[in-house]
Structure 1
Amino acid sequence: MRLELTHQNITPNTDWTQTQQPLEHSQRMADRYSKNKKVGEGTYAVVYLGTQLSTNRSIAIKEIKTENFKDGLDMSAIREMKYLQELKHENIIELVDVFSDDSNNLNLVLEFLPSDLQHIIKDNTLTFKLPDVKSWTLMMLRGLHHCHRNGILHRDLKPDNLLISPNGNLKLADFGLARSLGTPDENLTSNVVTRWYRAPELLFGSRHYTEVVDLWAVGVIFAELLLRTPYLPGKDDADQVVVTFQALGTPTEDIWPGVSSLPHYNNIEKFPPPSRGELRNRFLAAPESALDLMCGLLIMDPNKRWDTTKSLMHHYFSERPPPTSPELLPGTKNP
């Protein structure tokens, strides 16, 4: 079954019960899957490990409790359904099915991915090599490139939203904050992206931004993979500003024209940008090409920050040693 989501049949104020299939059909859909084990629960959803009965395939079922919403379905659930239906790529989690059950709950059936990049980074029993970091970064950029060329911003890239399949493929997941690229004059919320991975234009409260907010997050995750520890771990929003600019330098009008006019650019402490030598000392094992890529992803001025195309074409990915094959990556759980 494919559930089409358009502005005509589901909007933020639409009652899900008015759009779902007849109960008999919904129950037939529910009978295709078993919910075997609860693996997570939040305010609005419960996640189960389950099985697709016809194939015996392991799947994850996110059961969204529609009773919690007075005016219809949670917007993040609508976004996740809509964009995952549009995005089919080996480095993006697969939405297998959507159905409603006899309690009017909405169920998203997703491919089961047993691990995530956060778990791998924190697992001290695993040893990373530079080709492993190159492979994870390459897969991250390929999935993101597919999002951006289809006009979709992810807006919440972080290691625990980068899931790992049994054969080692990294896949972008959790599209609850995703949205279509806006027009240049459209106001967007700056309260997106988990704090440690938030681009400077968002820290300054910009209401106009582009897909390069995702590239900043990739740059921070890339640094985290090289360090095996968080790169810019702010304690709160105010501290995030200090931590970010202390590490990378405070942007000025000279390097980012117009930055001083952004809403939260006031009383900012001025820190100098790090020299190349300082970066080499921070990332002792990283080759020059890796530092080049990182610096391109972490350019302060969003108008100059690298996009996915420029990043993927960088010689870091083509020079030796080549990226590790996914099935040989640390932490891969081959079936």
Structure 2
Amino acid sequence: MDYKEEDVLGKGGFACVYGGTFKGEKVAYKKIDKWTLDDIAQEREEYTMQNLDHPNVLKLLDVQQDQNFKYLILELCVSTLFDYVEGYYKGKMPSEIDGMIQMARGLHYIHSNHFVHRDIKPSNVLISPTFILKISDFGFSRGVTGSGSFSMSSEPKGTRVYCSPEFLSTEEKTKEEKEKIRVDVSIDVFSLGCLFFNYLTKGGHPFANGERPNEIFTPANIKNGEKILNGRMGLPENHYAYDMIDGMTDKDPGKRWQLKLALEILNEA
């Protein structure tokens, strides 16, 4: 294991990612503080990634640890979709349609292996050196039943401006009430629909009144179903992805589009 503390690729609340080498190959090291992140979260991320192998899902190469830190050794990527949207990344990218197909394929694969991600957002989609998009960061992931459902026994996970309305609505519930609530993998579909919109508009959000997302008003709009797709930072109603994103971000999870349908639309576009 060889990495350099000065070669920082990214930072999060509980971990830092460094560039380095492993078995002669350039890789990324995710250094996790074992004393600040609970054991369950650490185990979930490691277990989920060990059971996934897909071109559009970031690959876990090895796991090592010492007394204070766990190291996830990951395939190296050059940037994030967030950096692309904000204009920081100027390198090669797949076409818009191909990019969305890649993200949808990766998430469909995750769901087909009975996992839910729970934190789909632009900064958790990485860009490989060969401009392949890869879903990353499985710290909030968990297993689901064969039908894709799971219980809401804890607080909503992930980033609130990308959380589904049914996920946000549990914030006011008691622990006992949450334990009786079941949601399913369609929460990830909602997040991906918001991400697609952000990706296509270079910064917009379906629930931000035609603007960039706001940490206060956007979650409130999501819970109330107040959506604007054709605002200032929006899409024209005749855009090929307009109806798809509208369906993926439906407030009612029962009416929300499934990834299979979204992939069909994208492959025909």
1:123 CA drift (Å)? 0.8
Q: Is the 8 A contact 1:215 1:308 kept in 2?
A: yes
Equivalent in 230, 234, 238 of residue 204 of structure 2: 230
Are 2:220 and 1:242 aligned? yes
Provide the rounded CA distance (Å) in 2 between the counterparts of 1:181 and 1:295.
25
- Say if 1:93 and 1:172, in contact at 8 Å, map to a contact too: yes
CA distance in 2, matches of 1:283, 1:73: 39
1:318 paired with 2:268, answer yes
Q: Structure 1 residues 291 and 46, CA, compared in 2 at 3 Å: closer, same or farther?
A: closer
Instruction: Give 2:184's match in structure 1, choosing from 207, 210, 224.
Output: 210
Higher relative contact order (CA 8 A, sep 6+): 1
Query: Residues 184-219 of structure 1: CA distance to partner in whole angstroms, max 9, x if unpaired?
Result: 683433511201111111121173210000011111
CA separation in 2, counterparts of 1:178 and 1:170? 19
Quote how far apart the aligned CAs of 1:116 are. 0.5
Q: Please provide the CA RMSD for this pair.
A: 2.9
The alignment covers a number of residue pairs equal to 250
Higher strand proportion, which one? Answer: 2
Q: How does 1:51-62 map to 2 (within 5 A)?
A: 51-52=21-22, 54=23, 56-62=24-30
Corresponding residue of 1:180? 143
1:158 aligns with 2:125: no
Map 1:1-335 onto structure 2 (within 5 A): 33-38=1-6, 39=8, 40=10, 44-52=14-22, 54=23, 56-66=24-34, 68=35, 74-101=39-66, 103=67, 105-123=69-87, 132-182=95-145, 186-205=151-170, 207-231=181-205, 232=208, 233-236=213-216, 239-244=217-222, 250=224, 279=230, 283-284=234-235, 287-314=238-265, 316-319=266-269
Give me the TM-score of the superposition, normalised by structure 1. Answer: 0.66
State the identity as a percent: 29
If the length of structure 2 is used for normalisation, what is the TM-score? 0.81
- Is the CA contact (8 Å cut-off) linking 2:244 and 2:262 kept in structure 1? yes
After TM superposition, give the deviation of residue 127 of structure 1 in Å.
Answer: 10
* Structure 1 gap segments, 5+ residues each: 1-32, 252-270, 320-335
Larger mean Cα displacement after TM superposition, 186-195 or 213-222: 186-195
**Counterpart amino acid of residue 149 in structure 1:** S
Task: Tell me the equivalent position of 1:262.
Answer: none
Q: What CA distance in whole angstroms lies between the structure 1 residues aligned with 2:233 and 2:79?
A: 28
Computing the radius of gyration from Cα coordinates, the structure with the larger value is: 1
